[in-house]
């Protein structure tokens, strides 16, 4: 499994698309946070914090992570190497997990340069170092959980298609539904209990809770359950070849 994990990471970083995806993410967040005059511009906010980054990140990840995961199984099916991969002494679950964790590692690599934003904001604070560290690191942790959920969705979308473009579009649609639609529907429902339940199905309310620096076991369990559910759905899809 670790050999396949290493192969997946090196394969992504060895291709031009890997650097394009990471570069687009850093360029987009950099421009929105520091250059474009808007509510998300840190220099115009007058507040030493990275809240704009964590507000923008889920929407950027909604496209970034599907771009990373779209080749996971779709490319293997298109090139015909999926059969060779499945003959390795690995279970279907191990193959899925190797591709899943490779995607998470790649997103983490894209996130690491954003630590420059943290140190920049900390230095510019008045006094220097005046930044809410608990909220910031809690938000980074929330991003990692968000990544885990989106990556599981993306790998599933890639597994049920042999076309990378179709896989990308389907993954973006699923991520949008899970992140935004359930929360929106929950707010539209007048009944408090039902509305809260519908909201709790969606990702946004759990991510927002973590972005406040509050690590609630309910949010951790939600993201773990979301990831496990889509990983198991991916395994079912992969095993359907035996039926």
Q: Above 60 in pLDDT, residue 101?
A: yes
Which of 4-18, 105-119, 139-153 comes out lowest in average pLDDT?
Answer: 4-18
The answer to whether the pTM exceeds 0.85 is yes
Q: Above 60 in pLDDT, residue 240?
A: yes
- The pLDDT > 70 percentage for the chain reads 97
Provide the pLDDT for residue 127.
75
* Domain boundaries along the sequence of the chain: 2-242
Provide the pLDDT for residue 105.
92
Residue carrying structure tokens 């649609």: 173
More confident residue, 109 or 128: 109
Confidence grade of residue 190 (pLDDT, cut at 50, 70, 90) = low
Q: What is the mean pLDDT of residues 151-161?
A: 94
Provide the pLDDT for residue 41.
79
Provide the pLDDT for residue 219.
92
At residue 126, the 3 state secondary structure works out as: coil
At residue 125, the 3 state secondary structure works out as: coil
Q: How far apart are CA 41 and CA 33, in angstroms?
A: 4
Residue carrying structure tokens 């699923």: 174
Provide the pLDDT for residue 146.
95
Residues 6+ away with beta carbon under 8 Å from 160: 167, 170, 237
pLDDT tens figures, 114-135? 999 888 888 877 777 778 788 8
Mean pLDDT of the chain: 86
Provide the pLDDT for residue 209.
87
Q: Above 70 in pLDDT, residue 83?
A: yes
Q: Give one word for 119, left, alpha or beta, with left for phi > 0 and alpha for psi -120 to 50.
A: alpha
pLDDT tens figures, 10-46? 888 777 777 888 888 889 888 888 888 877 778 777 6
Q: Say if residues 54 and 139 touch (Cβ distance below 8 Å).
A: yes
């Amino acid at each position: 499994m670790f050999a396949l994990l290493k192969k997946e990471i090196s394969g992504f970083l060895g291709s031009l698309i890997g650097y394009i995806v990471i570069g687009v993410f850093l360029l987009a967040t950099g421009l929105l946070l520091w250059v474009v005059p808007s509510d998300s511009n840190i220099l115009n906010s007058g507040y030493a914090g990275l809240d704009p980054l964590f507000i923008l990140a889920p929407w950027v990840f909604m496209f970034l992570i599907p771009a990373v995961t779209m080749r996971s199984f779709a490319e293997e099916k298109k090139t015909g190497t999926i059969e060779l991969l499945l003959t390795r002494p690995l279970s279907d679950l191990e193959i899925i997990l190797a591709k899943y964790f490779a995607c998470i590692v790649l997103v983490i690599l894209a996130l690491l340069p954003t630590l420059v934003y943290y140190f920049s904001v900390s230095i510019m604070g008045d006094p220097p170092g005046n930044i809410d560290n608990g909220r910031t690191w809690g938000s980074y942790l929330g991003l990692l959980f968000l990544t885990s959920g989106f990556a599981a969705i993306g790998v599933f979308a890639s597994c049920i298609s042999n076309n990378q473009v179709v896989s990308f579009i389907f993954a973006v649609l699923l991520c949008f539904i899970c992140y935004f639609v359930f929360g929106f529907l929950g707010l539209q429902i007048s009944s408090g209990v039902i509305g809260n339940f519908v909201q709790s199905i969606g990702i946004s309310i759990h991510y927002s809770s973590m972005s406040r620096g509050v690590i609630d076991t309910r949010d951790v369990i939600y993201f773990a359950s979301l990831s496990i559910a889509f990983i198991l759905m991916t395994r079912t899809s992969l095993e359907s070849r035996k039926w």
